[in-house]
């Protein structure tokens, strides 16, 4: 039987996998992985919390995996190849795999921002970072 989970009681991961200088650039964030709570294997789903002045990731795009974001709380700046757009609570955005549109989120406010990210898990997927020499 599937049980309902309270995300407030989950301890998130604050580990940043990027090496310096990227780690310092990204700032403080917390990622609560939710897929393993339910044994999900077809997609990943995370509750992410960005502190003020933090970034969600280096600007990137995926060769095969789709990404979807829904903002629960706060306000973020979405930076893409085509420019910037403010994302507010209740707004969502998606990025199809294979579309070369480097993107990431930046918290330029003085409050935390919380969002859900859902991404497909496609074998052979690669991420590209157009602004950084990172592989």
Per the domain annotation, does 59 fall within a domain? Answer: yes
Per the domain annotation, does 63 fall within a domain? Answer: yes
Measured distance CA(118)–CA(99) in Å, rounded = 17
Tally of domains in the chain? 1
The answer to whether the predicted template modeling score (pTM) of the entire model surpasses 0.85 is: yes
Per the domain annotation, does 57 fall within a domain? Answer: yes
pLDDT in tens, 51-82: 999 999 999 999 999 999 999 999 999 999 99
Measured distance CA(122)–CA(108) in Å, rounded = 32
Per the domain annotation, does 62 fall within a domain? Answer: yes
Per the domain annotation, does 64 fall within a domain? Answer: yes
Per the domain annotation, does 76 fall within a domain? Answer: yes
Which residue's structure tokens are 């190849």?
Answer: 81
Q: Which domain holds residue 82?
A: 45-90+114-124
Q: What is the pLDDT of residue 53?
A: 96
Per the domain annotation, does 40 fall within a domain? Answer: no
Contacts of 110 (CB under 8 A, 6+ apart): 52
Per the domain annotation, does 13 fall within a domain? Answer: no
Print burial letters for 40-67: b (CB count within 10 Å at least 16), e (below 16): eeeebbbbbbbeeebbbbbbbbbeebbb
């Amino acid at each position: 039987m599937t049980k309902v989970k309270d995300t407030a009681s989950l301890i998130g991961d604050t580990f940043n996998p990027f090496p310096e200088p990227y780690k310092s650039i990204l700032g403080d964030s917390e990622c609560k992985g939710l897929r393993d709570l339910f044994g999900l294997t077809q997609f990943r789903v995370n509750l992410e919390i960005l502190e003020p002045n933090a970034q969600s990731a280096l600007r990137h795009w995926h060769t095969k995996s789709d990404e979807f974001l829904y903002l629960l709380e706060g306000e973020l700046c979405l930076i893409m190849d085509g420019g910037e757009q403010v994302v507010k609570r209740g707004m969502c955005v998606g990025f199809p795999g294979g579309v070369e549109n480097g993107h990431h989120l930046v918290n330029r406010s003085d409050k935390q921002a919380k969002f859900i990210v859902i991404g497909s898990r496609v074998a052979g997927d690669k991420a590209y970072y157009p602004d950084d020499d990172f592989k």
